[in-house]
């Protein structure tokens, strides 16, 4: 039985206009992988420890293979240069 997988991005926005463009284009890259955008939000407060980023995204996939396939897809990889100009992003894959 496959396990759900979550791609979590911790984000510090450098250029809000470029970031808005990137965010608008990501959903089309997710559709072929039946991914669900679970959360896009801003940090309200660190309850324990510290956290250097201001924003977060969480995307659910059916399994880790689908998450990796999305990340490595030509459609998403075409957006990576835009993402790199728009923000500092730590992108991680979590399995449940």
The pLDDT score that the predictor gives to residue 1 is: 56
pLDDT, tens digit (0-9, with 9 covering 90-100), for 18-68: 999 999 999 999 999 999 999 999 988 889 998 899 999 999 999 999 999
Evaluate whether the domain defined by 5-44+53-95 bears CATH number 3.20.20.140: no
- Report the pLDDT averaged over residues 61-84: 98
Where do the structural domains in the chain lie, given as residue ranges?
5-44+53-95
> What does pTM read for this prediction?
0.93
Instruction: State the Cα–Cα distance between residues 44 and 5, nearest whole angstrom.
Output: 25
The confidence score (pLDDT) of residue 44 equals: 87
- Cα angle at 36 between 31 and 39, to 5 degrees? 130
Q: Are strands 55-61 and 36-42 parallel, antiparallel or unpaired?
A: antiparallel
């Amino acid at each position: 039985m496959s396990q759900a997988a979550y791609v979590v991005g911790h984000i510090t926005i450098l250029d809000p206009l470029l970031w808005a463009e990137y965010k608008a284009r990501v959903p089309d890259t997710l559709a072929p992988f039946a991914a669900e955008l679970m959360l896009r939000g801003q940090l309200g407060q660190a309850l324990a420890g510290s956290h250097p980023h201001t924003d977060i995204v969480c995307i659910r996939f059916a399994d880790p293979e689908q998450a990796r396939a999305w990340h490595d897809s030509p459609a998403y990889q075409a957006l990576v240069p835009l993402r790199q100009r728009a923000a500092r992003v730590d992108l991680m894959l979590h399995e449940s």
